[in-house]
Amino acid sequence: MISIKNVVNVSLSSVSASLSEYNVGNLMIVTGETPTILNPKDVMIYADSESVASDFGAGSEVSKQADIVFAQSPNILASGGRLLVGRPKQVSATSGFEALTGDIDLDALKLISDGCLDISIDGATPVQLENLDFSSVESIEDVYSILDTAITTNTSGCTVAIKEGIFVITSSSTGSTSSIILSAGTGTGTDISTALDIAQDQQVSGEDQRDETPSETFLRLFGSTYFGGMIYLPAITNSDFKALATTVQTKNCMLFKAVSSIADVTSLGFDIKNLGLTHTRILYSSIPAQAGTPALQDLASAYASLLLATNYRGSSTAKTMHLKTLSGVEADDSISDTTLATLTSCGVDSYLYVAGLPKVWTTSANTYSDEILNLIWFANSIEVAGFNCLSQTGTKLPQTEYGMSILKLAYDNVCQQAINNGVAGAGAWTISQTFGDPSIFKSCIASYGYYIYSAPISSQSVSDRENRKAPLVQIAIKLTGAIHSTDVMVLVNR
C-alpha cells in the first residue's frame, strides 16, 4: 500500500508574530523616592493605586499621585494603559581617552625611523616615546601596532584598543582627572605628531559619577517601555525642564507639568510655546497644594490620566479636554479674565470655575493637547501597521503595484480607524498643499476624510529598487477638531 502523500501532501505554516500597538495610555511618573521593596525594577507597572502605596508607602508623593491618576473617570485603564513608575539613576564615572581620528599621513611616516611622541596620562608628566621606526610600515594597522607596543612598554595606567578601525588610548582611571593627552615629541628623534594629525584627534576627559539628567532618565525609561505621557516629580530647574521638553518632542510622547505662579506661566509656559514644544503641556493652578512645588503635581496627574484614557480602538472615542471635570483636584476660583488672557497667550491650560462649575480650560497657542495625542496615536499605528504588513507576509510583498496596494491597505485600515474613533472625518481641504492628482486628493478628503498616494513603481530610482525600498507613501487626513464655543443669534418676532 502506498502513502496518501503520493496524492495529497499537506504542509502547515503559521503567521509570524505581529508587533502590538503602542499603548499611548501608559503614563510614566518619575519619582526620586525609594521603594520599600527589595530589588525594584527600573520600570514598575501598576493597575491600581494600592499597589503603588504598598511598594512606596502610603505617605509617599508617588502614591498620592497614583491616587489622583486612578481617581479619574475614565482613567488610563480605559485605554488599556497602566501607571508606570521609574526613578533617576546615577551615571557611572567614565574614563578619559584619546582616539586617532585625524588623517594619518602614511607616506610621511614611512620616512621616519626615529619617531618620537609624548603622552600624558591623568595629567602626569608626559612620557617620551622614542625610537619609533615606521620605515617598513605598509598600512595604518602597522602604524597602530608600533604605537601599541611603544605605549604598553613605556607606560602604565592606560589601555590600547582598535575600535571600529580607530586607535583608541583609554586611561585606566575614572573621574574628572582621568585623561589621555598626546602631544608633540620632545625626546630624541623626529616628532610624529603632525604625521599622526593629532590636532584632529577626539580627546575626551573622564567624568565623575553623577545623577542622570532628566533627559537621560526619560530616554532610558522610554527606550525600555513605551508610554504616551510622563510627569517628572523630582525638583527641576526651568532650564532643565526645557531641555527635557526638547527631548520629549523628538519622541511620540507627551510631558505634563503644573505650575502655581504667573511668573512661571509667562517664562516657562511662554518659552515652551515659542520653542514649538507642542508635546509639552503646562498647566496652571494658583493652589500650591496641587501644583508648583516640585513634588506636588496633582493637576498634572489628573489631566494626564483623563487625556490618556482615550481608547482609539473604539467608536467616537476621541475627546477634547476642554470643559472636562477632574476628580480629586480643586478648581482655581482666583482665575480672572485677565489671568485667563495671560494663560491663553502663553499656551497654558488650567482648571477653573465656569459659571460655578469646575472645568478644564484649554488653549490653542501651543496646540490643543488632544490633537497632539491623536497624532501620536496615528503615527504609532501607521508605523506598526507597516511593520506588521511586511513581517507577516509568508513569502514577500512584490515590488510591484500589487505589492504596494497591499502595503497601502495596511495604512488604509489605520485611516479607517481614525475615522471610526473620531480623530479624522470627511471635510474640505483648506490648505493649498496637495499631492498626487489634486482633484482625486480633494475628492477623497471630502468623501472619506483621508487620501493615500504612492508614486508609481515605474518611477523608482535604480538605487531604491535594488535596495528593495517601497516608493514614498503619502497620507493626508482631515482632523475633525472640536467645538469649544458657540455664538447664538436669536431673531424674535412679536
Structure confidence by residue, pLDDT tens digits, 53-65: 999 999 999 999 9
Rounded Cα distance between 112 and 134, Å, is: 6
Would you state the pLDDT for residue 11? 65
Q: How do strand 27-30 and strand 229-232 relate by DSSP bridges?
A: parallel
| pLDDT, tens digit (0-9, with 9 covering 90-100), for 316-342 | 999 999 999 999 999 999 999 999 999
Q: Judge whether 485 lies within some domain.
A: no
Same domain, 295 and 346: yes
What sign has the CA pseudo-torsion 226, 238, 336, 347?
Answer: negative
Q: How far are the Cα atoms of 485, 486, 487, 494 from residue 491, in angstroms, in the given order? A: 20, 16, 13, 10
**325, 341, 370 - which closes a domain:** 370
- 261 belongs to a structural domain: yes
Q: Tell me, what amino acid is at 44?
A: M
Give the range of the structural domain holding residue 443, as residue numbers without chain letter. Answer: 377-477
Supply the pLDDT for residue 288. 81
pLDDT score recorded for residue 338: 96
- Tens of pLDDT, residue by residue over 412-466, are 999 999 999 999 999 999 999 999 999 999 999 999 999 999 999 999 999 999 9
* Nearest Cα residue to 43 out of 223, 255, 302, 215: 223
Confidence of residue 1 (pLDDT cuts 50, 70, 90): confident
Phi/psi at 184 (5° precision): -55, 140
- The whole-number average pLDDT for the span 22-29 is 96
- C-alpha 468, offset from chain centre: 28
Rounded distance, CA 100 to CA 55, Å?
A: 49
Beta strands at 115-121 and 190-191: parallel, antiparallel or unpaired: parallel
Last residue of a domain, one of 327, 343, 370: 370
C-alpha dist (Å) from residue 318 to 243, 377, 420, 421, 425: 30, 11, 9, 6, 12
Mean pLDDT of 341-349: 97
The mean pLDDT of 15-37, rounded to a whole number, is 88
Question: What's the pLDDT score for residue 3?
Answer: 74
Q: Which residue has the higher pLDDT, 308 or 20?
A: 308
pLDDT digits (tens, 9 = 90+) for 187-214: 999 999 999 999 999 999 999 999 999 9
Cα–Cα distance measured from residue 104 to residue 106, given in angstroms and rounded to the nearest whole number = 6
Summarize pLDDT for 111-148 with one digit per residue, the tens.
999 999 999 999 999 999 999 999 999 999 999 999 99
Cell readout for 432 is 493649498
Same domain for 270 and 415, yes or no, is no
pLDDT band at 20 (very low <50, low <70, confident <90, very high): confident
pLDDT of residue 12: 66
Q: Are residues 461 and 326 in the same domain?
A: no
For 240-270, the pLDDT digits (tens) are 999 999 999 999 999 999 999 999 999 999 9
**Nearest Cα to 266, choosing from 319, 345, 377, 384?**
345
232 shares its domain with 123 = no
Q: How many domains would you assign to the chain?
A: 3
**Does the pLDDT value for residue 295 go beyond 90?**
no
Residue 231 identity (one-letter amino acid): I
Same-domain status, 292 and 319: yes
Question: Would you state the pLDDT for residue 13?
Answer: 61
Amino acid in the structure at residue 118: D
In this prediction, residue 51 carries a pLDDT of: 97
Domain co-membership, 335 together with 387: no
**Measured on CA atoms in the order 372, 375, 377, 379, is the torsion positive or negative?**
negative
> Has residue 483 been placed in a domain?
no
Are 153 and 190 in the same domain? yes
Using alpha carbons, select from 214, 225, 274, 234 the residue that is nearest to residue 253.
225
> What DSSP letter does each residue of 351-373 carry, written as one string?
EEEETTEEEEE--STT--HHHHH
Rounded Cα distance, 246 and 312, in Å: 26
Which residues, in sequence order, are CB contacts of 63 under 8 Å at separation 6+? 49, 52, 53, 56, 57
Average pLDDT over the chain reads: 94
Which pLDDT value is given to residue 204?
Answer: 95
**Which residue, of 337, 370, 403, is where some domain finishes?**
370
Same domain assignment for residues 278 and 365: yes
Q: Is the pLDDT at 300 greater than 70, yes or no?
A: yes
Check which CATH number belongs to the domain holding 132 and give it.
Answer: 2.60.40
pLDDT band at 380 (very low <50, low <70, confident <90, very high): very high
Is residue 255 domain-shared with residue 117, that is, in the same domain?
no
Tell me which residue of 296, 298, 270, 290 sits closest to 282, measured CA to CA. Answer: 270
Residue 8 lies in a domain: no
Q: By CB neighbour count within 10 A (0-12 exposed, 13-18 middle, 19+ buried), where does 363 fall?
A: buried
DSSP state of 321: -
Long-range contacts of 103-108 (CB under 8 A, 24+ apart): 103/197, 103/200, 104/140, 104/143, 104/195, 104/196, 104/197, 105/194, 105/195, 105/196, 105/197, 106/137, 106/139, 106/140, 106/143, 108/194, 108/195
Residue 21 belongs to some domain of the structure = no
User: Quick check: is 489 in a domain?
Assistant: no
Grid cell digits, residue 266: 509667562
Residue 478: the pLDDT is: 98
Report residue 17's pLDDT band, with 50, 70 and 90 as the boundaries.
low
Instruction: Please report whether residue 337 resides in a domain.
Output: yes
- Average pLDDT over every residue of 269-280: 97
For residue 294, the model assigns a pLDDT of 60
Q: Is residue 4 part of a domain?
A: no
Same domain membership, residue 473 and residue 417: yes
Range with lowest mean pLDDT among 119-133, 134-148, 216-230, 292-306 = 292-306
pLDDT value of position 19: 80
Separation between Cα atoms, residue 281 and residue 268, nearest integer Å:
11
Residue 398 neighbours by CB distance under 10 Å: 12
| Same domain assignment for residues 49 and 82 | yes
Same domain, 35 and 77: yes
